[in-house]
Structure 1
Amino acid sequence: MLVVFDFDSTLMDGESIDILAKRYRVESAVSYITKEAMEGKLDFFESLTKRVAFLEDMPLSLVQESIQNDFHLMNGAIECVKTLRNRGHVVVCFSGGFRIVTESFKDTLGLNATFSNILHHKDSKLTGKVGGEMMFGDSKGNMLQNLQGVLGLNKSQCVAIGDGANDLSMFHYADIKIAFCAKEILKQHATHCIDKKDLREVLNIVP
């Protein structure tokens, strides 16, 4: 099976953009937009570009410092991914966050691949611009469709796990849809809901 995890607030305990914003001391401006976006009250593309703009001129060295010190994996994340891989599943993450973060944790988690966005930088500072494959509200669904085509899989062979409104699109292409400590908008479309912050609970659902 193909198991797709969201990254922020699923594999990672927190939202990457909020964590970076706190390190750069623009947290209050960014966190409100994040909350509205994850509840489905704002267009994801618009909210993402607005939030990243607040990171303009943030030194890359400060970004790396934040990744090393401020980011913490969700309880049970490593064990969950390892066990799923041992059961023969392909495990990937789709993130509306940033490749510089997801790739930093790819090997630690044991993921097959990560798909996320790129924080543009110039002269060792962020420009406040972002681009990539997870920029829109339907990006995760489109990517899951693409992977199904490449791997020759159908909905019955796919699991989607997330917490926010931008995970809805991938729920449409998976028979097992797990809302993990999720916003109400996602719970309404889930086949399973986990309200305990421990990803090992997933192992009781995914065979």
Structure 2
Amino acid sequence: MPHARFLVVFDADSTLLRNEVIELIADEAGRGAEVAAATEAAMRGEVDFASSLRSRVAQLAGVPLTAFDRVRSRVEPTPGAAELIAAIHERGGAAAVVSGGFHEVLDHIAPGLAVDLWRANRLGTDGATLDGTVAGTIVDAEAKAASLREWADGHEVPLTRTIAIGDGANDLRMMAAAGLGVAFNAKPAVRRQADVVVGPVDLREVIPLLP
């Protein structure tokens, strides 16, 4: 990894992206409402994230992989995302995303936003459809914090020059590990614990916080 002046790590769903991608996939299975309610509880910190994710992903069993083209077409970057990432790069920083969502979508979205690094969960398949499992280790709160530390070390960035931006309880550990934790479009528990709270759903509001 190249040296960077600073590092900004984003959550994906409802932070860098306007959508909760798992809900878009659940729509393909006709289970959008149930999964949306479970996602909301997880983001408020009311249930264990990994357990919640497994139960929500189980609802996706049988969704054909061909449905991902429709899902990706519905994903919208949050207003100001491209401008903020451009500002990060102009100032010599690196932009990364660590997500409790899925590589199957992030791998298509992140390059178009000029994100430098990203990590997410992978969905299990039987070759043609989702099998209702998460493949590999789940990206949970501790994995998010570990990713921030790993990427900062790889870019020779001290943790004091890192910024973590998130909205849900799953983001609190990486926000605590970062030099600056920013609550964006966030749940009340996250706003209470963040260093900075950004109210408007426009990522350009973060630009003045960049070092």
TM bracket (short chain): over 0.9
2:87 matches 1:106: no
Question: What is the CA distance between 1:176 and its match in structure 2?
Answer: 1.1
CA RMSD of aligned residues (A): 1.3
- Correspondence 1:94 to 2:98: yes
Correspondence for 1:178 among 179, 182, 202: 182
> How many residue pairs end up in the alignment?
206
Task: Specify which structure has the bigger relative contact order, considering alpha-carbon pairs within 8 angstroms and separated by 6 or more residues.
Answer: 2
Worse-superposed segment, 133-142 or 82-91 = 133-142
Alignment of 1:27 with 2:32, yes or no, is: yes
| Counterpart residue number, 1:48 | 53
Say which SS state the counterpart of residue 188 (structure 1) adopts: helix
1:158 matched to 2:162? The reply is: yes
Q: Distance in 1 between matches of 2:194 and 2:137?
A: 24
Q: Residue 147 of structure 2 corresponds to which residue in structure 1?
A: 143
Name which of structure 1's ranges 75-84 and 141-150 shifts more when overlaid on structure 2.
141-150
Structure 2 residue 65 is the aligned partner of structure 1 residue 60: yes
Counterpart of 2:59, as a letter, is F
Q: What is the deviation of 1:122?
A: 1.7
TM-score by length of 2: 0.93
CA drift at 1:146: 2.1
Corresponding residue SS for 1:52: helix
Determine helix, strand or coil for the equivalent of 1:172: helix
TM-score under structure 1 length normalisation: 0.95
| Cα contact 2:99–2:139 (8 A) shared by 1 | no
Distance 1:159 1:134 in 2: 23
Q: Which residue of 185, 190, 195 corresponds with 2:194?
A: 190
For residues 81-118 of structure 1, give each alpha carbon's deviation from its aligned partner in whole angstroms, at most 9, with x where no partner exists.
11211211010000000001111111211000111010
* Structure 1 ranges of 4+ moved more than 6 A: none
1:192–1:102 Cα change, 3 Å? same
Once the two structures are superposed, the pairs formed by residues 6-21 of structure 1 within 5 Å of their partners are 6-21=11-26
Distance in 2 of aligned mates of 1:184 and 1:129: 30
Contact persistence 1:56–1:127 (CA under 8 A): yes
More displaced, 185-194 or 143-152?
Answer: 143-152
Instruction: Tell me the alpha carbon deviations over residues 6-28 of structure 1, each in whole angstroms, 9 at most, x when there is no partner.
Output: 00001100211112112321112
Structure 1, unpaired ranges of 5+: none
Residue equivalent to 2:3? none
Task: Please tell me the residue identity of whatever aligns with 1:4.
Answer: V
Amino acid at match of 1:93: V
Structure 2 unmatched ranges of 5 or more: 1-5
Report sequence identity in percent: 33
Aligned to 1:74: 78
* Distance in 2 separating the partners of 1:20 and 1:195: 28
Q: Tell me, in whole angstroms, the C-alpha distance in 2 between the residues paired with 1:181 and 1:140.
A: 18
User: Matches of 2:78 and 2:93 in 1, distance apart?
Assistant: 20
1:40-68 per-residue CA deviation (whole Å, 9 max, x = no partner) reads: 00000000000000000100001222212
**C-alpha separation between the residues in 1 aligned to 2:117 and 2:151?**
11
